[in-house]
Amino acid sequence: MTVFTLAERERFAAHYPEVPHKLAHALGRHPLLELDALARLAEALPAESIEYNQADLPIGIDGKPDPTGIPIGETIRQIEQTGSWAALKNIEQLPAYAALLADLLAEIQPQIEAKTGRMLKTQGFIFITSPNGVTPYHFDPEHNILLQIRGAKVMTQFLAGDATYAPDEVHEAYHTGGGRELKWRDELLVGGTEFPLKPGEALFVPVMAPHFVRNGPEPSVSLSITWRSEWSFAEADARAFNSLLRRIGLRPRQPGRWPHRNAAKSLGWRVMRRLSLRS
């Protein structure tokens, strides 16, 4: 079965890697993505690959939200009533889900590699959310297509690389081992773009584009298919190198977005990291 038509793949190619845009997909209610199958997946994954908490959250949070205390299997099977948000990370650890991820990425691999080179570190994530739940304001380091499978949601997305929405210092802290939660201010909302998603629709999210998500009135299941590129790793490494420069009192220029290669700072960080590992 083809999930992305030729027209959708051409649309993706025209916008990748920097412009957020919606796509149509034909994945449908895949048996691996039904609630009972997802509950079994969650119960099979290692604990570090599961994150779940209450779903009634503000857009901006400080630190980790409170856990619900409900077992993950029950959380998913009863997602309509549990008031929860759950993320199943690195689903490719199970062979059936690894095959699903590989099949989906293979459809768009030529378009990806024509722009940003070889796909690196391919990963899959599944999000299961109770009615009206919120995923707080944050960014992610991967190229990402979010496929909506069940329910509806609205992602509000902000311009990647703009320090108004994600300060350079937060990027630098994240790429040297810190968190990626961002400070929310209501005045930021004017700069966001809303992307409503319903089953059969998908959304491309550029690397490190800040965003938050509001779920609709029904339970939601979404699948993220993600990959890294040498360009995305180079930007991340340049951010990390900037953290070193900032520590010695400099005010470094932020890395360039694609197609800038960020080669010098990236190399500098990789050399420093190797030296620290050897010492």
pLDDT at 255: 95
Domain spans of the chain? 6-229, 233-277
Q: What is the pTM of this model?
A: 0.95
pLDDT at 226: 98
Classify domain 6-229 at the CATH superfamily level. Answer: Cupin (2.60.120.650)
**Tens of each residue's pLDDT in the chain, 279 residues:** 899 999 999 999 999 999 999 999 999 989 999 999 999 999 999 999 999 988 888 898 876 776 788 999 999 999 999 999 999 999 999 999 999 999 999 999 999 999 999 999 999 999 999 999 999 999 999 999 999 999 999 999 999 999 999 999 999 999 998 877 799 999 999 999 999 999 999 999 999 999 999 999 999 999 999 999 999 999 999 999 999 999 999 999 999 999 999 999 999 999 988 877 666
Inter-residue contact 88 to 125 (CB < 8 Å) = yes
CA distances from 84 to 26, 70, 127, 172, 208 (A): 27, 9, 11, 31, 25
